[in-house]
Structure 1
Amino acid sequence: MTETAASRGRVVRQRLLQAARELVPERGWTAVSTRTVADRAGVAPGLVHYHFASLQALLAEAAVGALGEMVDGVGALLQQARTPVELVDAIAAEVDRYTGTDPASLLAVETYLAATRDPDLRERLTGVLDDFRGQVGAWLRERGVPDPDATAAVLAAVIDGVLLHRALTPLPAAGVAGVLHRIVEGGDSR
């Protein structure tokens, strides 16, 4: 089977995105260069700008794509959980997979920081957050949780905060889950 130029281009593009996903947590957003991404992807540096408008566009697409994939996983949690408490427990278990210093956590932290200085990245990252909040808020609304949209926003902020704190000091998700139970139950502390 003959490989087409388009399929080779898709492969190169994916390799560049994967390289960016790896390098941002390893080096930090601002320390990633066109050359380092190209070297990691095993391609010529000129291909970075052939496939992406800029290095920042590549980094943004890689990071937002990775974070979007993480948010996509919330759908499975929403389908499995029967009650708000079960949802909180499932989210806490998911958060326990991350140490705060693992590549996914560092990618999230670096992306948030870069978004404070890049309005386009901020808008794209806000879209990922809005997706999470929207899915969780709708699910909470169906179960009669008071102020479901604000509750979903607080859940998102707590998840981000726990991951951020874990990079400095252990913060077990199980301890956080008890507090979140009270929030989703409207003050009842089972």
Structure 2
Amino acid sequence: MSTKVRTADTRERILTAACEVIAEIGFEKIRMRMVAERAGVSTALLHYHFDTREKLFTEAMTHSFANTAVDLERDAETAPAALVLVRILRSLLPTGPELQQDWRLWQELWARALRDETTRAFAVDLYAQLHAWVAGAVRRGIASGEFTPTDVDDLSTLVLSLSDGYGIRLMLRDPTVTLDSALTAIWRQASAALGLPAALPTE
């Protein structure tokens, strides 16, 4: 195995471990040693790759977002546009253990962004990437003729806002909100704007 590959593998293990530890105990409580132990590396090696907790946190958030996006890129160019959009909607909600972990990371990001300007700017940038992700899927559907033309930016902002609102209530285990009801409500707004059936498309 080359040095470059080993380095990439080490960074991957560290970032995966950081996501897990931050989601479990919160950013304010983590110590670099905890992440090093979870990743199976020395503290010195961890500091070689990430010299501060803040850098580790931002890299972990980026890593989490990138992994979610990669998972959804499968056959995105050939699958029906409505199906691609529903996959994105599901990924924006805490629909399983991995996405629940992502949501805990986002909650840590929101809390930290309220107190730290650098984190605030980073959070705004991540939202811009999410917005572009949703908007890209909508634009592809419009371009292919599968969607009725609409204000893409307005719809993307609405989808993200609804996802945040319902996602928080799902994370709080609010008994009045279920995953199905959240997806249905968000899809109702998106499908109406795009001229699609109100029923959620299935794989």
TM over 0.5: yes
**CA 1:10–1:77: 2 relative to 1, 3 Å:** closer
Partner of 1:158: 162
**1:98–1:104 Cα contact (<8 Å) kept:** no
What is the root-mean-square deviation of aligned Cα atoms in Å?
3.2
* Pairing partner for 2:65 from 67, 74, 92: 67
Aligned-partner Cα distance in 2 for 1:123–1:72: 24
- TM-fit CA distance, 1:180: 3.0
**2:19–2:60 Cα contact (<8 Å) kept:** yes
Per-residue displacement from partner, 1:104-127 (whole Å, max 9, x unpaired)? Answer: 321222223223333333333333
Partner of 2:13: 15
Partner of 1:183: 189
- TM-fit CA distance, 1:167: 1.8
Q: Secondary structure at the match of 1:131?
A: helix
Q: Using the aligned pairs only, state the percent identity.
A: 22
Partner of 1:52: 50
Partner of 1:41: 39
Partner of 2:201: none
State the TM-score, normalized to the length of structure 2. 0.72
**CA 1:73–1:151: 2 relative to 1, 3 Å:** farther
Confirm or deny that 1:28 pairs with 2:32. no
Aligned-partner Cα distance in 1 for 2:148–2:99: 36
Per-residue displacement from partner, 1:36-82 (whole Å, max 9, x unpaired)? Answer: 11222222222222112312101210122102322444545964344
Partner of 1:113: 111
Per-residue displacement from partner, 1:141-186 (whole Å, max 9, x unpaired)? Answer: 4234432101101111222222211121142233234433443324
- TM-fit CA distance, 1:27: 0.8
Confirm or deny that 1:167 pairs with 2:185. no
User: Which 4+ stretches in 1 moved above 6 angstroms?
Assistant: none
State the TM-score, normalized to the length of structure 1. 0.76
Aligned-partner Cα distance in 2 for 1:69–1:100: 10
Q: Which amino acid in structure 1 is aligned with residue 164 of structure 2?
A: D
Unaligned runs of 5+ in 1: none
Q: Which amino acid in structure 2 is aligned with residue 126 of structure 1?
A: V
Unaligned runs of 5+ in 2: 199-203
**CA 1:119–1:75: 2 relative to 1, 3 Å:** farther
Confirm or deny that 1:102 pairs with 2:100. yes
